[in-house]
Amino acid sequence: MVGFIVARNVGNAVVRNSVRRRLRHLVRGHLDRLSRGSLLVVRANPAAGRARHDELAADLESALDRLLRPASKGRK
């Protein structure tokens, strides 16, 4: 399950809904990377309202890569 948080500081209602739709579309392509039963919350930063599609996609990809990276021994 994936939830989205797009606060007012991202933009007006039209911009927020657009960002939410764009993120939903992008996340769909990565659902297979998540473990079954996972819960993921994606929070849009204010810059997401002005970001191009490729920038938003790259940021999401980077965040998921960091999230799904195996933990190293020194990291807690």
- Ranges of beta strands (E only) in 1-76 are 2-5, 40-43
**DSSP letters of 12-24?**
SHHHHHHHHHHHH
Q: Is residue 27 very low, low, confident or very high in pLDDT (cuts 50, 70, 90)?
A: very high
Q: Is residue 75 very low, low, confident or very high in pLDDT (cuts 50, 70, 90)?
A: low
Whether the pLDDT of residue 53 is over 70: the answer is yes
Give 2-68's CATH code, choosing from 3.30.230.10, 3.20.20.70, 1.25.40.10, 3.40.50.920: 3.30.230.10
Average pLDDT over residues 2-27: 96
**Torsion sign over Cα 52, 35, 66, 4:** positive
The domains of the chain are located at 2-68
d(CA 8, CA 11): 6
Whether the pLDDT of residue 72 is over 90: the answer is no
Question: What is the pLDDT at residue 70?
Answer: 81
